[in-house]
Amino acid sequence: MKCVLKMGGHILFSELNSAKIKRYAEVMEKIVNEGVKLVIVVGGGEKAREYIEVARTLNADNFRTDIIGIEVTKLNAMLFSLALGEKAYFPIPTNLDEILHLMQSNKKIIVLGGLMPGQSTVAVAALIAEAINSDLLIIATDVEGVYTADPKKDPQAKLLEEIHIDQLIEMMSKMEAKAGTYKLFDLTSLKIIKRSKIRTVVVNGRKPENIVKVIKGEKCGTLITF
């Protein structure tokens, strides 16, 4: 089984804690020990947002803030790769060709951050899932799944067990898409998921056991349907 995991940077890297990073790394090791071929795309989280906001006060445009955000995701990915030790590649890959080459042997976990400006790490994860014909794409975030509204702002928001891809595209199209403001998905990622019908589940990544549940086929979070 091939699985791409998009891990939100806010899950592990808002406050750097080596013990917490190691705990997640141990869960990933158990997953691959059961025969799963795993690619992990790490986001920037609050650290990226901090850098981006300062960059904007220094008159950085969207291209430059994207570059800064990508570099933070790479730092996060390198830390996670170090936590995995010999189970992961280091240095981390920085382009799709490298990832596809590593997948041919696929003896280790592939960990990476962002790849290019204008592309969220969710879009990177979706693109990799498409390129390697992944069986599953997991979006690990800081909420239980996809809600009818932002659960952090609307107490009436309801968790959806399933959502059709077109409904999700309509929902996300109403939100901003600039560096440091991506909300679960950007339109690029959703279009990739739709065109290749990638099995995608959104889960609360603050509970690493949720990632294991989804890989085992158990119901958890929100399933995107077609």
Calpha distance 89→175 (Å, rounded): 35
3 state SS for the chain: CEEEEEECHHHHCCCCCHHHHHHHHHHHHHHHHCCCEEEEEECCHHHHHHHHHHHHHCCCCHHHHHHHHHHHHHHHHHHHHHHHHHHECCCCCCCHHHHHHHHHHCCCEEEECCCCCCCCHHHHHHHHHHHCCCCEEEEEECCCCCECCCCCCCCCCCECCEEEHHHHHHHHCCCCCCCCCCECECHHHHHHHHHHCCCEEEEECCCHHHHHHHHCCCCCCEEEEC
Residue 106: per-residue pLDDT? 67
Both ends of the chain: CA-CA distance in Å?
21
Mean pLDDT of 108-126: 95
Residue 175: per-residue pLDDT? 64
Residue 182: per-residue pLDDT? 41
With a cut of 80, say whether residue 187 has pLDDT above it.
yes
Calpha distance 65→45 (Å, rounded): 14
Which residues 6+ apart lie within 8 Å of 104 measured at CB? none
Fold of 8-225: Carbamate kinase (3.40.1160)
Which residues 6+ apart lie within 8 Å of 62 measured at CB? 117, 118, 178, 179
With a cut of 50, say whether residue 179 has pLDDT above it.
no
Quick: pLDDT tens for 52-110: 999 999 999 999 999 999 999 999 999 999 999 999 999 999 999 999 999 987 679 99
Residue 180: per-residue pLDDT? 42
Phi, psi of 148 (to 5 degrees): -70, -20
Residue 107: per-residue pLDDT? 79
Calpha distance 51→15 (Å, rounded): 14
Let me know: does 205 contact 211? Beta carbons within 8 Å.
Answer: yes
Structure-block tokens of residue 223: 């399933």
The mean-pLDDT minimum among 22-26, 133-137, 155-159 falls in 155-159
Residue 152: per-residue pLDDT? 80
Question: Letter for the amino acid at 69?
Answer: G
Let me know: does 89 contact 95? Beta carbons within 8 Å.
Answer: no
Q: pTM here?
A: 0.94
Q: Label residue 127 by pLDDT band (50, 70, 90).
A: very high
